[in-house]
Structure 1
Amino acid sequence: MTNEHVSASCRCGKVKLLIVGAPILRSICYCTSCQEAGRRYQAASGVDPVLAEDGGTDYVLYRKDRVRCVQGGNLLEERRLKPESPTRRMFARCCNTAMFLDFTKGHWLTVYRGRLPSDMPPATMRMMTGERPSGVTLPDDLANYPSFSGKFMLKLLGAWMAMGFRRPAVDGVP
């Protein structure tokens, strides 16, 4: 673990996350769920984009035990594609900002890239490219995986092992 501290905040600054340590990884996801959630979010006026023109959503994954909401947790609102979905996307109500995705059965938190400082390392892979919008041709500048890659799964497993196979809640997040 590095002693790196990173802040993630909503557009108006009322909601702030503090993240300690290096990310698990940064990737761009093309799954149909991320595309649908992105379309729903971007249908509102005045929001920042979460979907790229090619249909991908840029994320940075962190261990849940390294993230805490230090301000405005009461302003976070969850949105799910279906009521029974284990995936909740968290938004700051104050300025309708997409903050992060929480797979509630998992040990990691997936922060929307736009919430983090501009000097983040670049993405290392594209995942779920088999579900990208029709007609989209992706460059070969990154590894393009049609589903979840073995590398992705190994990084998640390694992080979970380092956490003692715990699935903590994120401090300060309802």
Structure 2
Amino acid sequence: MTAACRCGAVVFEAAGAPIVTAACYCTSCQEAGRRFEQLDHAPPVLTADGGTNFVLHRKDRVRCVKGADRLEEHRLKPDSTTRRMVAACCNSPMFLEFTKGHWLSLYRDRLTEGAPPLEMRVMTGDRRAGVELPGDIPNYKTHSGRFMWKLLGAWLAMGLRVPRTVEGMRAA
């Protein structure tokens, strides 16, 4: 699976199947999406209903193959353990990383082809007022047990290791 910024200067490769594909409606993802969409020539981040679509992968299976020097870190608060990386060349958000976690959340719209379908919507309790979600996939008010189980299963498969950063990318 390949993810690239809009201009193609930053490229990531992810090996193996994703952990899960989800849309997040948490207040942090909504705020980050609004901020990113304010950047010059930035591509859309938020869906029409205010969600942010991600494909979660194990950190040890994702690597930057081109343009790591163009990545720019964004945190909603200076001491946040969550960082979002943007390709500064074209202001394309590339991924979200919980720095203490074992997974990386690639922005689904950055996948160049064959993006897997969404499996679930999480944190829907934080969605904008008046937004009605379809029932085509599960809608969870928080991070569901199913979501957490998928993360735990990936971590167990990694031997409970937590890679510090993505190979080939600047450290946190």
Give your verdict on TM over 0.5.
yes
Structure 1 gaps of 5+ residues are 1-5
1:159 corresponds to which residue?
154
Q: Secondary structure at the match of 2:32?
A: helix
1:63 corresponds to which residue?
58
Scaled by the length of structure 2, the TM-score of the pair is: 0.96
Per the TM alignment, residue 43 of structure 1 is displaced from its structure 2 partner at its CA by: 1.5
1:35-57 superposed Cα distances (whole Å, 9 cap, x missing partner): 00000111124211110111100
The percent identity for this pair of structures is 60
1:30 equivalent to 2:40? Answer: no
Q: Secondary structure at the match of 2:104?
A: strand
1:40 corresponds to which residue?
35
Q: Secondary structure at the match of 1:144?
A: coil
CA distance in 1, matches of 2:55, 2:72: 20
1:150 corresponds to which residue?
145
CA contact (8 A) 2:40 2:91 kept: no
Pairing of 1:70-85 with structure 2 (within 5 A): 70-85=65-80
Alignment equivalent of 1:17, drawn from 8, 12, 35: 12
1:97 corresponds to which residue?
92
Taking only aligned residues, the RMSD between alpha carbons, in angstroms, comes to 0.8
CA distance in 2, matches of 1:120, 1:53: 18
1:140 equivalent to 2:135? Answer: yes
CA distance in 1, matches of 2:112, 2:100: 27
1:123 equivalent to 2:115? Answer: no
Give, as a single letter, the amino acid of the residue that structure 1 aligns with 2:19.
I
Scaled by the length of structure 1, the TM-score of the pair is: 0.95
Structure 2 gaps of 5+ residues are none
Per the TM alignment, residue 120 of structure 1 is displaced from its structure 2 partner at its CA by: 1.9
Q: Secondary structure at the match of 1:22?
A: coil
Per the TM alignment, residue 119 of structure 1 is displaced from its structure 2 partner at its CA by: 2.1
CA distance in 2, matches of 1:148, 1:50: 20
CA distance in 1, matches of 2:120, 2:15: 23
